[in-house]
Amino acid sequence: MAKSSVPEAARPAVLFAVKAVHSLAFLVIQSCILYLLYKGIKGETDRPAAVAAGIATGEVIIYAGNGFRCPLRTLAEDLGEETGSVTDIFLPNWLASNIANIYTPMFALGMYLHARNLLRR
């Protein structure tokens, strides 16, 4: 794999920035999934829930469309990260290794609850 054109001395800082952006995206997406689940349980399917569903669905499409590999992982590898992980610096290892196992069922349940809510209207 070709290495990044970022100068060697700047790579640690750029890699830190990539991980920070990834962590921010993680926070937003997982908050959307939790919000979607919360609103689904409450039976409140509304515009904010639809926005949360759109954000989470967009993430799923990007992730699946990239072969179930985070696009930022390739960037991290290009910057010299051996594992390509973009979660290891800001998330606990147990969470980083189980993101899909934790949030996929929550997302699916949230979507199911909102579909149920819509069908009951």
| Residue-range definition of the domain harbouring residue 103 | 8-120
Nearest-angstrom CA–CA distance, 40 and 93:
29
55 in a structural domain: yes
The pTM for the full model equals: 0.84
- Residue 53 domain-assigned (yes or no): yes
What is the model's pLDDT at position 97? 80
- Domains in the chain, number: 1
Q: Is residue 46 part of a domain?
A: yes
Query: 60 lies in a domain?
Result: yes
Tens of pLDDT along the chain (121 residues) come to 456 688 888 888 988 898 888 888 989 999 999 999 999 999 999 999 999 999 999 999 999 999 988 888 878 888 877 765 665 556 777 887 888 899 999 999 999 999 999 999 8
Within-domain flag for 2: no
Establish if 113 belongs to a structural domain. Answer: yes
- Residue at 77 is within a domain: yes
Residue 1 lies in a domain: no
What pLDDT shows up at residue 89? 59
Q: What is the pLDDT of residue 50?
A: 96
